[in-house]
């Protein structure tokens, strides 16, 4: 696996290829990331992953400083998954001067749900992803593919919209959420959980499954369903931000329950904030 720490090294190396398939990450890799790398492999003639903990997408009180940096294990895992190129710039390389030009996703998509509870998050994500695209795809000659996990459902939608609205010649491909044996969605932040919290954490996915079961059983009062799911988690000691049923097309509240829906949840367990989603 070739490791590039600078944009120049990355571009020089990628000049020999035509169709990069790219998986951006913030490191602390787990099976969910590695599955994206394996999914990306047949989609291009060179598989590129990035590791960059992007300060722009963290609020001041969030875990930028403590976000786990696990370089040796990340490199070994990427190599074993068949990654060809790892782009790992430092902050000086990617943001040599304050990033005064930013992507500003406008309402409604970027201001609801995650955007409401993490203001500025999607602007930070879109800015770094656009910049990464510029680094990774500048030498590409044909098909360009970027693979994002469906676990970050709203992020995936924001990236798809950015690519569409800026007419970027990039195929955005979704990778299914990978789960632990008990059903907990894999996430780097699961590592923050104590053993007791880890045992409890699956309840977020169970709450979404319970909502899905109620919808399948004919429930039509979505606000009541959402309130019930929030209360169920609260009584178990969680602090939920939202558990909602939304339209898959734009993440707004549905007008009818027979529209294609996605259930999305975000909740804090102790000091760890977890998210999950389920299409119904
Ligand atoms: O999903 C993530 O890990 C990050 O938001 C991303 C897409 C790598 C941008 O920093």
CA of 26 to the centre of ligand 1 (A): 6
The backbone region for 221, taken as left when phi is positive above 0, alpha when psi lies in -120 to 50, beta otherwise, is beta
Taking Cα atoms as reference points, which of 27, 253, 33, 236 lies closest to residue 147? 33
**Which residue has the least CA distance to atom 1 on ligand 1?**
25
Decide if 250 contacts 108 (C-beta within 8 A). Answer: yes
Q: Which of the listed residues 37, 54, 174 should we mutate to test ligand 1's pocket, taking the one with most ligand atoms within 8 A of CB? A: 54
Assess whether pLDDT exceeds 90 at residue 256.
no
| Residue range 188-279 in CATH 3.40.50.800 | no
The percent of the chain in helix, strand and coil, each rounded to the nearest 5, is: 40, 20, 40
Any ligand 1 atom below 6 A from CB of 50:
no
Ligand 1: which of 67, 89, 129 to mutate, most ligand atoms within 8 Å of CB? 129
Q: Which residues are catalytic?
A: 33
pLDDT at 108: 87
* pLDDT(106) > 90: no
Atom of ligand 1 nearest to the CA of 54: 10
Parse the chain into domains and list their residue ranges. Answer: 2-175, 188-279
Mean pLDDT for the stretch of residues 83-109: 96
Question: How does pLDDT run across 4-56, given as a tens digit for each residue?
Answer: 999 999 999 999 999 999 999 999 999 999 999 999 999 999 999 999 999 99
User: Which pLDDT band, with edges at 50, 70 and 90, does 268 fall under?
Assistant: very high
CA-nearest residue, atom 8 of ligand 1? 25
What's the confidence (pLDDT) of residue 258?
86
Q: What does the pLDDT look like over 128-187, one tens digit per residue? A: 999 999 999 999 998 999 999 999 999 999 999 999 999 999 999 999 999 999 999 999
Task: List, for residues 107-123, the tens digit of each pLDDT value.
Answer: 889 999 999 999 999 99
Q: Is 129 in the pocket of ligand 1 (CB under 6 A)?
A: yes
Residue 4 in 3-state DSSP? strand
Q: Is the CB of 272 under 6 A from ligand 1?
A: no
CATH code of the domain made up of 2-175: 3.40.50.620
pLDDT of res. 257: 81
**Residue 215: per-residue pLDDT:** 96
User: For 66-82, how does the pLDDT look when each residue is reduced to its tens digit (9 = 90+)?
Assistant: 999 999 999 999 999 99
């Amino acid at each position: 696996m070739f490791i590039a720490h600078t944009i120049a090294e990355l571009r020089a190396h990628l000049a020999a290829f035509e169709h990069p398939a790219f998986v951006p990450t913030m490191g602390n890799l787990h099976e969910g990331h590695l599955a994206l790398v394996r999914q990306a492999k047949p989609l291009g003639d060179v598989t590129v992953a990035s590791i960059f903990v992007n300060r722009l997408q963290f609020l001041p009180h969030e875990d930028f400083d403590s976000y786990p940096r696990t370089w040796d294990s990340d490199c070994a895992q990427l190599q074993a998954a068949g990654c060809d190129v790892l782009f790992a710039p430092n902050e000086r390389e990617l943001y040599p001067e304050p990033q005064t030009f930013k992507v500003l996703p406008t309402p409604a998509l970027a201001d609801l749900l995650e955007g409401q509870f993490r203001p500025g998050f999607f602007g930070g994500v879109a800015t770094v992803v656009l910049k990464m695209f510029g680094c990774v795809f500048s030498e590409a000659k044909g098909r360009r593919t970027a693979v994002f996990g469906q676990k970050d459902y709203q992020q995936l939608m924001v990236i798809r919209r950015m690519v569409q609205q800026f007419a970027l010649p990039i195929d955005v491909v979704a990778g299914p959420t990978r789960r632990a044996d008990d059903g907990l969605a894999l996430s780097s932040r699961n590592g923050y959980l104590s053993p007791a919290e880890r045992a409890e954490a699956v309840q977020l996915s169970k709450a979404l499954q319970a909502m899905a079961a109620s919808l399948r059983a004919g429930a039509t009062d979505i606000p009541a369903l959402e309130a019930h799911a929030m209360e169920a988690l609260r009584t178990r000691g969680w602090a939920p931000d939202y558990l909602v049923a939304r339209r898959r097309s734009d993440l707004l509240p549905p007008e009818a329950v027979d529209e294609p829906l996605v259930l999305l949840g975000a909740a804090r367990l102790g000091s760890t904030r977890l998210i999950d989603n389920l299409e119904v």
